[in-house]
Amino acid sequence: MSIFAVTFRIDEQGEQGSRRKSIAACCRQEAVGPVRAEAASFFVLESSKTSTELAHSIYLKSLLHASRDKMLVVDLVTKDYMVIGDLDDSAIAALMAEIDKRSTPTATRQAQA
């Protein structure tokens, strides 16, 4: 099991509301346990899938348009991620690498708390 952050941006073309609702519904269906919806396009959820599997599952079951919309799924435990749509993957890769470099082991983080 892992904890994921899922965020997306719906393009202004077409049925924005129905696409947004379908992605939110898919996030809730994919979750094992409670889902935290911080905003209309940001979810935190637990799943037994990988970031790639979760992103593809949400994409295939929702009305997300990969040619117009954008979605980023980040595994907050393993720091793996998957991008759907036209996002600058090189910028995300660089940021994720930086997060990985700055990570503090869990035991140390708990001891500092």
CATH of the domain at 50: 3.30.70
Q: From residue 85, how far is each of 67, 98, 99, 100, 105 by CA, in Å?
A: 6, 23, 22, 24, 32
Q: Mark the ranges of the chain whose per-residue pLDDT is less than 50.
A: 107-113
From CA 16, how far away is CA 79, in angstroms rounded?
29
* pTM beyond cutoff 0.75: yes
> How far does the chain reach from its first CA to its final CA, in angstroms?
24
Full domain range(s) for residue 81: 2-112
* pLDDT reported for residue 105: 54
* pLDDT reported for residue 108: 42
Indicate the number of domains in the chain.
1
* pLDDT reported for residue 111: 44
From CA 9, how far away is CA 82, in angstroms rounded?
15
Q: From residue 26, how far is each of 5, 31, 34, 90 by CA, in Å?
A: 14, 9, 13, 27
* pLDDT reported for residue 14: 76
* pLDDT reported for residue 36: 84
